[in-house]
Structure 1
Amino acid sequence: MQYCSTRAGVQGRSFRDVLFSGYAADGGMFMPETIPSLSPETLLTWSRLSYQQLLCEICSLYIPEQEIPRHDLEGLISQALSSFSIPEVVRLVQLKDSLCILELFHGETLAFKDLAMSCTSQFLQYFLRKDGKRATILVGTSGDTGGSAIRSVLGLSEVDIVVVFPHRRITRVQERQMTTNIADNVHVFAADGTSDDIDVPLRKLFADPDLVLSHGLMSLNSVNWSRILVQLAHFLYAYLQLSVPLAKEDALPVLEVLVPTGGAGNITAGYIMKLMGIPLRLVAVVNSNDIVHRALQSGDFSMSDSVKQTLAPAIDIQDPYNMERVFWLLSGRDGVMIKSLMEEFQRTHKLTLPESLHQQLCEVLSSGSVSDDGILEAMRRCWQDNHYLICPHTAVGVWQHYHTPIRPGEKRCCIATASPAKFQEAVQKAGLTLDLPEAVQLLDTMETRYEVLERSDDWESRLRRHIESISSMRRLGAAAETRD
């Protein structure tokens, strides 16, 4: 298995290469050069496996044995998932009105990103220790990614992590999950802007090959292929739990999956699983930041004038960068076309999808858009009907469920991306209450540490200097240890 860029300028990279990368040198995103297929016989066999076992099977398809031997891979995944609060790691919950929810939030920071982040950090540590090297991780976050990324590498001697979050645009719990992790290898910046604003300087830093090479600079955003890889297992697990045929000769039933969508990493993983042979009907559901919805409705893949602050802040995104991966797959891997389209989008923030690409997109995805009022409505109804509390992002998908009928003969699953404990204000606005976990209550008693990026600052230069200073300090520390 080798990897290439969506913009045609980079081919033949190994899993290790793309693991330690952000964007490719040509500005594109790494993808596998081939997508393996799963036969009905394989699915029938795998239907008896646990989530952890399924994840091992999926990862082994994309990580060659010579890079991480199967025995080591199983150990790394086991270690990554060992801190989850339930033995099964993820859980399916059946509620009234055929509402089925896949809970992905049982990790340390109570968000689905803990699943991919914990595995990716184990893969990183494996290679860094094997090679005797260090890495500097640079992460921009719209809320949950930062805290999850920090927890996954907290205290690791081989890694420094620099996280940038949008100041006062995320929940207090999300912010304090980042700023209270006071460790030598954690560096947190609060930027006076949106998550899309943050992506601009980060993309420039990753496009500097000298900086990337000199400082081992890499990403843990879903720009990183490893994040998408682990997320493939969410869709396979849900499908095998809900829709697996009873015998080899049975036709594979269709499962509809409602996916709360921001940066579009999960919807990309779902589409790849569809290409692997799983009959999924994918619905990307967004909040008022509706670029993905507009792209499907009319082919208008253009940013709005501003990012709207909503009750579902982790998907307050107008640049769903993983859609580049979807467009690349739909275009027949036409990297030249994708390069042209995405460079136009980055330059003008506006793009009308070519008619053929728009038509293909509509064949594999559908979409919905939900207002804050709709989010609150779904939270209330789910509680009233089931005494089951959902977070505002999960409510985006649940609202879609309540307002669109399930097709005859199909089943449906909603992705639950985070615990409601992270979104107390939204819960209160819905007129509901919750008992906060002890770990969340303790956050308000802890010391914080972070730096502020003012709007007037040159963010790219500030971050560049900080990355350089990290490497300088590490070199001085290593020299001191050698003298001792």
Structure 2
Amino acid sequence: MMRYCSTRAGAPGRSFRDALFSGYAPDGGMFMPENIPKLSAETLSTWRSLSYQQLLCEICCLYIPEQEIPRAHLQELIARALSSFSVPDAVRLVHLKDSLSILELFHGETLAFKDLAMTCTAQFLQYFLRRDGKRATILVGTSGDTGGSAIRSVLGLSEVDIVVVFPRGRVTRVQERQMTTSAADNVHVFAADGTSDDIDVALRKLFADPELVRRHGLMSLNSVNWSRILVQTAHFLFAFLRLGGGEGDPRAELEVLVPTGGAGNITAGCIMKMMGIPLRLVAMVNANDILHRAVQSADFSMTDAVKQTLAPAIDIQDPYNMERVFWLLSGRDGVMVKRLMEEFQETHRLTLPAALHQQLCEVLSSGSVSDDGILETMRRCWQDNHYLICPHTAVGVWRHYHCPVTPGEHRCCIATASPAKFQEAVHRAGLTLDLPEAVLALDALESRYEVLERSDDWESRLRRHIESIGSARERRDQGK
């Protein structure tokens, strides 16, 4: 039966439910499966005709034991999660000029790829909470899209309260309105005067308090949560089965361009590669280029400040999911990973060991794109294809225009969000777009959120709020 452990050598033998509800592991690490199953050529041949939803179910069945969620229930949960998407199979593959395909992952309610994993994860949560008669408090830090997606995924779930913290002035208007206009009683939103990396520091401290976590069922829906990574592995399998090996060569590689912030999608791609799928992964970043420097020169170090760019959801200097990648590439050496990540958290600087850097370079390529490069790519994609892309997707597509594919090769770019969420970038590129009704409707809604000033003790403010949520729950329960 599949079990889970921490990337820092602790917490072995945990269940999927344990990993789902824990956020960070007790030792500060991140949960990963204790073994990675391999997919045979025969299995891939059988799965080639499956829909995205069917593939997702097959992958989840490998990592969620039947004893925890029976297959029939898992199918129902996934179907319910994806029922609100605006295209029939939740995702859509678009073929553009010069052997470039775009995998559109933004057809959920908040127009971002995170809706796919978030809605599924929320269904898994509800399944366990209702079965066990429990409640949970979800604590989420966001650089843009995660917050709105997490809020939408838990609306109407009486077993859950959600606390979302976003960096004030560092997200787009649409992203902010998607987070701050919910009137639901179980939604609590904070705007912090800092960066998403600053927010993560305070949240890590809260998750490191075992008594707080226990009393309030505190958990994360960031891609710290293993369930988010699990669902995202299906993106890469779906793309490969549609675009990778043809009938003549079923193992032919597929190159995937991945706009990268917290590195959740890249981690999912690495896992799928280790499952036997021949992928060439390219992590594409904006001016916040820590991951690019790590690949190019083993320099996994933060710079003095997060740079604000036209692709704000990946304005991240701590791509925290790389801890999972380092663990995988090091042969699951949790002791080494613990030492490396504690050094990084303390000093914000790290030189990767030579053997680990070599492994990283064998699995990943990388690139970094300026704002000018983003705008240039958005314009060219429109000129060549009459196809409008968001600035994050442009970070990936930039690679296509600067490193053309050779004849016969296949290349796919992960499209992480609708351009409707990034109107300023679209206009700066000299392009226009028709806004969806759901985006236009946001302006008529009232905002509701609290501010975390830079001078505040964010950890204490959030702790008090989480305590007050718990007290209010107890009063409601006593009044029933």
TM-score using structure 2 length: 0.99
Contact 1:47 1:244 in 2 (8 A): no
1:22 lines up with 2:26 in the alignment: no
> Deviations for 1:415-436, whole angstroms, at most 9, x for unmatched residues?
0000000000000000000000
Equivalent residue runs for 1:92-111 within 5 Å: 92-111=93-112
Determine the C-alpha separation between the residues in 1 that align with 2:164 and 2:406: 43
Q: Which residue of 2 aligns with 1:5?
A: 6
Equivalent residue runs for 1:170-319 within 5 Å: 170-246=171-247, 250-319=249-318
Corresponding letter in the other structure for 1:369 = S
Q: Which residue of 2 aligns with 1:421?
A: 420
Q: Which residue of 1 aligns with 2:449?
A: 450
Determine the C-alpha separation between the residues in 1 that align with 2:397 and 2:116: 22
Determine the C-alpha separation between the residues in 1 that align with 2:237 and 2:435: 31
When the two chains are superposed, the root-mean-square deviation of aligned CA atoms in Å is 0.7
Equivalent residue runs for 1:30-429 within 5 Å: 30-246=31-247, 250-429=249-428
Determine the C-alpha separation between the residues in 1 that align with 2:373 and 2:326: 29
Corresponding letter in the other structure for 1:402 = Y
Helix, strand or coil at the partner of 2:103 = strand
> Deviations for 1:314-348, whole angstroms, at most 9, x for unmatched residues?
00000000000000001110000000000000000
Corresponding letter in the other structure for 1:82 = S
Deviation at 1:245, TM superposition (A): 3.9
Contact 1:44 1:244 in 2 (8 A): no
Determine the C-alpha separation between the residues in 1 that align with 2:208 and 2:149: 25
Contact 2:26 2:210 in 1 (8 A): yes
Contact 2:99 2:409 in 1 (8 A): no
> Deviations for 1:443-467, whole angstroms, at most 9, x for unmatched residues?
1110110000000000000000000
Contact 1:43 1:244 in 2 (8 A): no
Equivalent residue runs for 1:460-475 within 5 Å: 460-475=459-474
Determine the C-alpha separation between the residues in 2 that align with 1:108 and 1:301: 35
Determine the C-alpha separation between the residues in 1 that align with 2:156 and 2:410: 43
Determine the C-alpha separation between the residues in 2 that align with 1:283 and 1:410: 15
Q: What stretches of structure 2 of length at least 5 have no aligned partner?
A: none
Contact 1:205 1:464 in 2 (8 A): yes
TM-score using structure 1 length: 0.98
> Deviations for 1:63-87, whole angstroms, at most 9, x for unmatched residues?
0000000000000000000000011
Deviation at 1:409, TM superposition (A): 3.7
Deviation at 1:99, TM superposition (A): 1.7
Corresponding letter in the other structure for 1:469 = S
Determine the C-alpha separation between the residues in 1 that align with 2:109 and 2:14: 32
Contact 1:121 1:152 in 2 (8 A): yes
> Deviations for 1:99-152, whole angstroms, at most 9, x for unmatched residues?
210000000000000000000000000000000000000000000000000000
Determine the C-alpha separation between the residues in 2 that align with 1:407 and 1:55: 31
> Deviations for 1:147-205, whole angstroms, at most 9, x for unmatched residues?
00000001210000000000010000000000001110000000000000000010010
Determine the C-alpha separation between the residues in 2 that align with 1:155 and 1:202: 25
Contact 1:44 1:245 in 2 (8 A): no
Contact 2:11 2:26 in 1 (8 A): yes
Contact 1:105 1:418 in 2 (8 A): yes
Corresponding letter in the other structure for 1:441 = L
Determine the C-alpha separation between the residues in 2 that align with 1:407 and 1:213: 54
Deviation at 1:244, TM superposition (A): 3.6
Contact 1:90 1:102 in 2 (8 A): yes
Q: Which residue of 2 aligns with 1:476?
A: 475
> Deviations for 1:359-400, whole angstroms, at most 9, x for unmatched residues?
110010000000000000000000111111000000001111
> Deviations for 1:216-260, whole angstroms, at most 9, x for unmatched residues?
00000000000000000000000000124426xx45100000000
Contact 1:171 1:423 in 2 (8 A): yes
Deviation at 1:98, TM superposition (A): 1.6
> Deviations for 1:262-295, whole angstroms, at most 9, x for unmatched residues?
0000000000000000000000000000000000
> Deviations for 1:36-81, whole angstroms, at most 9, x for unmatched residues?
0000110010000000000000000000000000000000000000
Helix, strand or coil at the partner of 2:374 = helix
Contact 1:137 1:219 in 2 (8 A): yes
Determine the C-alpha separation between the residues in 2 that align with 1:239 and 1:70: 24
Assess, with a 3 A threshold, how the Cα gap between structure 1 residues 386 and 245 changes in structure 2: closer, same or farther. closer
Helix, strand or coil at the partner of 2:60 = helix
Determine the C-alpha separation between the residues in 2 that align with 1:409 and 1:205: 51
Helix, strand or coil at the partner of 1:353 = coil
Corresponding letter in the other structure for 2:275 = M
Helix, strand or coil at the partner of 1:447 = coil
Contact 2:77 2:123 in 1 (8 A): yes
Corresponding letter in the other structure for 2:346 = R
Determine the C-alpha separation between the residues in 1 that align with 2:455 and 2:348: 22
Deviates more, 1:358-367 or 1:237-246: 237-246
Deviation at 1:408, TM superposition (A): 4.9
Deviation at 1:406, TM superposition (A): 1.6
Runs ≥4 residues deviating over 6 A: none
Corresponding letter in the other structure for 2:173 = R
Assess, with a 3 A threshold, how the Cα gap between structure 1 residues 147 and 300 changes in structure 2: closer, same or farther. same
Determine the C-alpha separation between the residues in 2 that align with 1:243 and 1:281: 11
Helix, strand or coil at the partner of 2:22 = coil
Helix, strand or coil at the partner of 1:20 = helix
Count the aligned residue pairs.
Answer: 479
Determine the C-alpha separation between the residues in 2 that align with 1:446 and 1:4: 43
Determine the C-alpha separation between the residues in 2 that align with 1:334 and 1:243: 32
Contact 2:374 2:395 in 1 (8 A): yes
